Structure 1
């Protein structure tokens, strides 16, 4: 009996060659392929974010290198921007010596530290060659009692020669324009090409997130924390998309098998049970 059932099922499965079911198969394969590609894309994101975290960790213990090892000197005139730092050099530690330009302090508003909204303060450090690198000196709160956008009281930068040590960070993207208010530049994002247009010298293509300075930095500044990227979220998405791809194929097979059994009469409707005919329980 079993061989006859297998032969019957084999004949019934011929419906899979009909245009309708071939269309279902094509749709399933396309969906599974897209899900596999989405999983691969998330895998690339996971690897990229993991590399960023590795650079952040490595930079915490490395010996600072000269600024020019990571940020080449700009070659244009005032307002121009040098090459962006190579990806492998972002978050590395560098050191540079120059003089702060206190006439062109940059306030980056809407920055959050410890769940408080305030400003990051960038000050150009003018180097011996006449170019400058933006130094993120730290975070300060807005003026008290005047709202999150009220311009803060910025601690004065040291005069004379200053040596800074910090992490190399690339330019941010987006963020709108740059305004000057009460003698200070203000922006929403650290977009170096836009900021450079407001400055009277060429600027390096990345900035330095300060972690040490001689003379010492003002204690009113709060250090801007360096957060690791959430690479494990991307890793979870990898498996999610790949599992969905497998489930779509399994789902097609399950539906096809159910249809085949229906056509073979193996999953026909059951006869209703006559409960009245059952003996009464004692």
Structure 2
């Protein structure tokens, strides 16, 4: 009944079906890995609020060895870890990062190098400030940056991938991206390969700074794609079986119809 499946035509259809189903399963597996990766990020974000901050040197690789060099980027699982470090701010090299959005408002993030005892620095993102009235591009009046020794608690943020252009305007460095390898070339000391989003600080930070929100990853979107691709794979295999069954029933009906007239002819012949 299903001998037709061994014909070249049906063998070709079967091969294409297997290839399509395999690709869909692999796509589902990839989405599953993305779901697990994003879930792990969300778990780290939530867990950081429940544990004491770790010393900076225990989490991030050592800063670059010479001036103008960024240290190696940490592993991805270091992102959002809470760390603490003590140093003094170098306000002369404060970086204004334009085009940053908080609560649907476009403004600036303010990043300052924190100089450490060994001569290296880690960049600290103090938070977000609005643009000056009447202009979305003019540099804002920045809140005061503490002088003297400060202790910072912040969350590790990986370097942004796009390098962007770094300018010096009105005596301040200005950029669109916090890309550490690019920013390191503008600074007179080595810096760490990740920066910190400020959580708290001693002495306290100026309340004008708005905290940069940490967004949870949309891992459930990836979970939906996993189910979607695997269902597509099952539907592809089911579709092949349905077509084969339909073909088999059609052939069987055709053979039955071919036999029926001959039987009637024989019955009509005289004895």
Please report the TM-score for the alignment, with normalisation by the length of structure 2.
0.90
Q: Distance in 1 between matches of 2:166 and 2:249?
A: 69
Question: Which residue of the other structure, out of 158, 181, 184, is the alignment partner of 2:146?
Answer: 158
The residue that corresponds to 2:93 in the other structure is 104
Q: Helix, strand or coil: the match of 1:237?
A: helix
Question: Structure 1: which 4+ aligned runs deviate by more than 6 Å?
Answer: none
TM alignment of 1:129-148, pairs within 5 A: 129-147=118-136
Count of residues in Structure 1 that have an aligned counterpart in Structure 2: 257
> Where does structure 1 lack aligned partners over 5 or more consecutive residues?
1-9, 269-282
Q: Distance in 1 between matches of 2:199 and 2:63?
A: 24
Which of 105-114 and 42-51 deviates more?
A: 105-114
Q: Distance in 1 between matches of 2:65 and 2:255?
A: 79
Q: Distance in 2 between matches of 1:129 and 1:209?
A: 22
Question: Which residue of the other structure, out of 111, 124, 128, is the alignment partner of 1:122?
Answer: 111
Q: Helix, strand or coil: the match of 2:30?
A: helix
Q: Report if aligned partners of 2:163, 2:182 keep a CA contact under 8 Å in 1.
A: no
Say if 2:248 is the partner of 1:260: yes
The residue that corresponds to 1:275 in the other structure is none
Q: Distance in 1 between matches of 2:139 and 2:252?
A: 79
CA RMSD of aligned residues (A): 1.8
How far residue 175 of structure 1 moved from its aligned partner, in angstroms, is 4.5
Question: Which residue of the other structure, out of 80, 83, 106, is the alignment partner of 1:91?
Answer: 80
Question: Which residue of the other structure, out of 48, 59, 70, is the alignment partner of 1:70?
Answer: 59
The residue that corresponds to 2:164 in the other structure is 176
The residue that corresponds to 2:219 in the other structure is 231
Could you report, residue by residue, the CA deviation over 1:123-146 in whole angstroms, capped at 9, with x for unpaired residues? 000111110000000001112111
Say if 2:174 is the partner of 1:191: no
Say if 2:228 is the partner of 1:240: yes
> Where does structure 2 lack aligned partners over 5 or more consecutive residues?
257-271
Please report the TM-score for the alignment, with normalisation by the length of structure 1.
0.87
Q: Report if aligned partners of 1:175, 1:187 keep a CA contact under 8 Å in 2.
A: no
Q: Helix, strand or coil: the match of 1:61?
A: coil
Q: Report if aligned partners of 1:80, 1:197 keep a CA contact under 8 Å in 2.
A: yes
